[in-house]
Amino acid sequence: MNERDSEIMSQALAGSGYVETMEMESADLVILNTCSIRAKAEQKVMSLLGLLRKQKKRHPEMQVCVAGCVAQQEGEKLVERMEHVDLVVGTQNIYQIDHLLEHARKNPGYIAISMEKDYTIPVFLPDQAMGAAYTGKGDSPSIFRKFVTIMQGCNNFCAYCVVPHTRGREVSRNVKDIKGEIRVLLESGIKEITLLGQNVNSYGQTNIVTSDGAPFSFAELLHEIAHLEGLQRLRFTTSNPKDLSDDLMKCFRDIPNLCPQFHLPVQAGSDKVLKRMNRKYSIARYLELVEQLREYCPDIALSTDIIVGFPGETDKDFEETMGVLERVRYHGSFSFKYSDRPGTAAEKFNDKVDENVKKERLMRFQDRQDEISLDRNREYVGTIREVLVESASGKALKGRTVTNHIVHVDDTLGRILRPGDLVDAEIYHAGQHSLKGKLARMK
C-alpha cells in the first residue's frame, strides 16, 4: 500500500518537473513516506528525520516532507518536534503533493491532513513517469508488475491495529475506475497486477460503487478483472479470514490467471487471544478455510502474519500458535512482536508481555518457520516452474513463480532475456528464502 502511495507521489511530482534521485544528500526534496503499523517502523522515521535536520542545516533550500501514516497520526506534533519539516501530508492528501509542496514553500511547516468519511480514491492513471518510482527496494518491479488500490481504510478495529485510525473508514473503489486503471497498465506492457486493500475480502460491503451503483463482491471483481486482455498474473493482498467467502475460495480453482498464492493472516493460534484481538474467527474456522482452499486449489502456497506477545498471551496460548504453524505448514510468514500503537484498544490493556518473553517467542516461531519453508521449498525441486523474470544481468536471471517464490535462474540456453519475460525453469535447489533453477524454455 505504501509502495503504491510512493508511486502516486512520484508520478504527481514527475508531472511537475521533479526528477528522482537516489542520493538523499544532494536532493532538493526528501519525502519520507511513513508506516506506523508497528513501533519499530515509526522509530525509523524519527531517526531519519534527525539525520535530515543536520542535512538541512548544510542545504537550507532542501524541502523535507513527511507523508503517510505517521504524518496522519502525529500531524502538528511532528512539526513541533521537528521544526525542519516543511510539509506533513496525510494518507488521503498525497494526490495533491505537488500543489502542497508549492504551498509549503511559502508556509514552511504546512500540515495537510484530511480524513473524509466518503472519500473517493482519485483515478490516478499511470503516465510517462511510470516505472520511475523509487520504492526503497533494490529492484523496482514497476516495469512489468503493478499494484492497484481497490479499497482504502478499514472498519475492523482489531485491538492492536492503528490502520483504522490512520487510514480511516473502509471505502471500496468504483469497479469502472479499477478496470480503467488496469487496462491502461496492461496496454503499457504490465503483466502482473496485485490488487491492494487492508481487507480485500470485504470489498463492496461498504460504500460501494459499481458504475451502475449495484453491489459487487470481491469474487465478482476478480472474475471481471481476470479476463482483461494481456493480464498474465493476478494477485491480491491482504485478507482478514473472517470475511473469506466460498465464492472467493473458488476463484483459486476457477480463474486460471489468479496466482495460487494466498496471504491469510491468522495473527494468533489461541481462541482466547483472537477474541481479545477482536479478529472475529476461531482457529477451528480458520483451519476449515485452509482445508477448503487446499481442496479447491491443491497447489496453493499459503502465508500468514503472526503477532507474538499480544497482551495476556500465556505460554500455553503461544504453544497454540506454534500448533497452527505445524498444522498449516505455511510456505512463509511475517511475524512480529506486539507493540503498542497510539489510540488502539490493546494499548490500554494492562497485562503486557515482557519484552524478553516476546523476543524468545518470536525467535522460536521464526526458526521453526524457516525449517518449514525449507521443507516446502524442497517440494519444488525436480519440477518445472513458470518464472516471470524480474531482473537479468548476463546469465543470471531472477524472477518469481506463480506461488511468489523467488527463483534464481541460470540461463543455460544463452538467450537474451529481459525483465518481464516468461520462462520455464527446472528447479534444482531449494533454499529457505529462494529457489534455483535452470532455464528450460522460453514461453
| Residue 415 found at the interface with ligand SAH (CB under 6 A) | no
| Residue 172 found at the interface with ligand SF4 (CB under 6 A) | no
Q: Please pick, from the candidates 32, 94, 151, 161, the single residue that binds ligand SAH as defined by CB under 6 A.
A: 161
Checking DSSP bridges between strand 145-149 and strand 151-152, what pairing results, if any?
unpaired
Q: Please pick, from the candidates 45, 87, 163, 259, the single residue that binds ligand SF4 as defined by CB under 6 A.
A: 163
| Spacing of C-alpha 397 from chain mean position | 24
Alpha helix positions (H), 196-302: 218-226, 246-254, 271-277, 283-296
Residue with cell 526534496: 29
**Is 255:226 a contact under the CB 8 Å cutoff?**
yes
| Residue 157 found at the interface with ligand SF4 (CB under 6 A) | yes
Burial of 106 (0-12, 13-18, 19+ CB in 10 A): exposed
Report how far residue 56's alpha carbon sits from residue 48's, in angstroms, rounded to the nearest whole number: 12
**Is 338:368 a contact under the CB 8 Å cutoff?**
no
Among 153-161, 183-191, 378-386, 401-409, the segment contacting ligand SF4 (CB under 6 A) = 153-161
Site string for ligand SF4, 197-216 (x = CB under 6 A): -xx-----------------
Which sign, positive or negative, has the C-alpha torsion 326, 331, 332, 338? negative
Q: Please pick, from the candidates 63, 199, 261, 303, the single residue that binds ligand SAH as defined by CB under 6 A.
A: 199
Report how far residue 188's alpha carbon sits from residue 396's, in angstroms, rounded to the nearest whole number: 26
**Is 232:185 a contact under the CB 8 Å cutoff?**
no
Site string for ligand SF4, 232-261 (x = CB under 6 A): --------x---------------------
Residue with cell 514461453: 443
Which of ligand SAH, ligand SF4, none lies near 339, with the C-beta cut-off 5 to 8 A by kind? ligand SAH
Q: How far is the CB of 91 from ligand SF4 (least distance, A)?
A: 13
Q: Please pick, from the candidates 154, 185, 221, 389, the single residue that binds ligand SF4 as defined by CB under 6 A.
A: 154
Report how far residue 285's alpha carbon sits from residue 288's, in angstroms, rounded to the nearest whole number: 5
- Residues in the interface with ligand SF4 (CB under 6 A) total 10
Q: How far is the CB of 181 from ligand SF4 (least distance, A)?
A: 22
| Residue 318 found at the interface with ligand SAH (CB under 6 A) | no
DSSP state of 331: S
Nearer to ligand SF4, 154 or 353 (CB): 154
Judged by the rule CB under 6 A, the positions of this chain that interact with ligand SAH are 37-38, 160-161, 198-199, 238, 240, 265, 267, 305, 307, 336, 338-339, 341
Judged by the rule CB under 6 A, the positions of this chain that interact with ligand SF4 are 154, 156-158, 161, 163-164, 198-199, 240
